[in-house]
Amino acid sequence: MVQAFDRLKESPSQTAGPYVHIGLTPNFAEIAGVYERDLGDVMVNAATKGERISVRMRVIDGLGAPLKDALVEIWQADHAGLYNSLSERRGKADPNFTGWGRKATDMTTGECVFETVKPGRVPFKDGRLMAPHLTVWIVARGINLGLHTRLYFADEAEANAEDPVLARIEHRQRVATLVAAREGDAYVFDIHLQGEHETVFFDI
């Protein structure tokens, strides 16, 4: 007999369901007075460094309809490419930037809007720089395990062209599904859960 690893299995995921807002954005769900404000609602303050941006996202189902009950979280580096995390060992991230945001998609339009800063570039495992990106996590009724994707920026074409993660996408026409377009003052990003324009999702 050899020794056992004694590893446990991860708790299996279950859908967040249609009432995810009660727990994660109770003020949005009109449950007032329990929390002062919804967690992840605000990522920046007056002292946050970097270029302010708005990101408008929708999550679209297999028939082209936007989800009106999805919850989206983003995680990103600060303007200098540092994460506000315990596992960040390269330096100290901007203390006026959380790096993490959470929004429910609007119950009428299906859109959610993040007010944040453009992230700096972060090194890949081998030291090459990745292009500026947001890590995006989506849960909703009908989604059994949260979906991970990335948002890249259309006006970072040069960086995107050398991004080691985007480079791994075999079918090159799918790269565009991860690139948010600039529209006026905002970046817009539609996440397609399935079908012709299906967004690339990651097993991270």
Partner 1 sequence: MSAERTDLRPETGAFFQRDRSWHPPALTPGYKTSVLRSPQKALLSLDNTLSEITGPVFSQELLGPLDDDLIHNFARPGESAIGERIIVYGRVIDERGKGVPGALLEFWQANAGGRYRHKKEGYLAALDPNFGGCGRTITDQDGGYAFRTIKPGPYPWPNGVNDWRPAHIHFSVFGHGFAQRLITQMYFEGDPLIWLCPIVKTIPDRAAIETLIAALDMQATIPMDARAYKFDIVLRGRRSTMFENRLEGN
Query: Which residues inside 149-168 make contact with partner 1, applying CB under 8 A?
Result: 150, 165, 168
Contacting residue, 53, 98, 105, 118, with partner 1 by CB under 8 A: 98
User: Which is nearer to partner 1, 52 or 90 (by Cβ)?
Assistant: 90
109 binds partner 1 (CB under 8 A): no
CB crowding 105-133: b at 16 or more within 10 Å, else e: beeeebbbebebbbbbbbeeeeeeebbbb
User: Which is nearer to partner 1, 5 or 184 (by Cβ)?
Assistant: 5
* Residues in binding contact with partner 1, number by CB under 8 A: 86
CB crowding 167-199: b at 16 or more within 10 Å, else e: eeeeeeeebebbbbeeeeebbbbbbbbeeeeeb
User: Which is nearer to partner 1, 53 or 139 (by Cβ)?
Assistant: 139
188 binds partner 1 (CB under 8 A): no
200 binds partner 1 (CB under 8 A): yes
Q: Give the other-Cβ count within 10 Å of 29's Cβ.
A: 16
125 binds partner 1 (CB under 8 A): yes
175 binds partner 1 (CB under 8 A): no
Q: Which two tokens stand for residue 117?
A: 């800063």
89 binds partner 1 (CB under 8 A): yes
- Residue pair 117/75 in contact by the 8 Å Cβ criterion: no
Contacting residue, 87, 108, 172, 173, with partner 1 by CB under 8 A: 87
To partner 1, the closest distance from the beta carbon of 43 in angstroms equals 10
Tell me, what amino acid is at 61? Answer: D
User: Residue 123 pairs with which residues in a beta bridge?
Assistant: 129
CA-derived radius of gyration, the chain: 18
User: Residue 120 pairs with which residues in a beta bridge?
Assistant: none
Residues in CB range of 119: below 8 A, 6 or more apart: 76, 77, 78, 79, 81, 132, 133, 134
75 binds partner 1 (CB under 8 A): yes
49 binds partner 1 (CB under 8 A): no
124 binds partner 1 (CB under 8 A): yes
To partner 1, the closest distance from the beta carbon of 163 in angstroms equals 11
39 binds partner 1 (CB under 8 A): yes
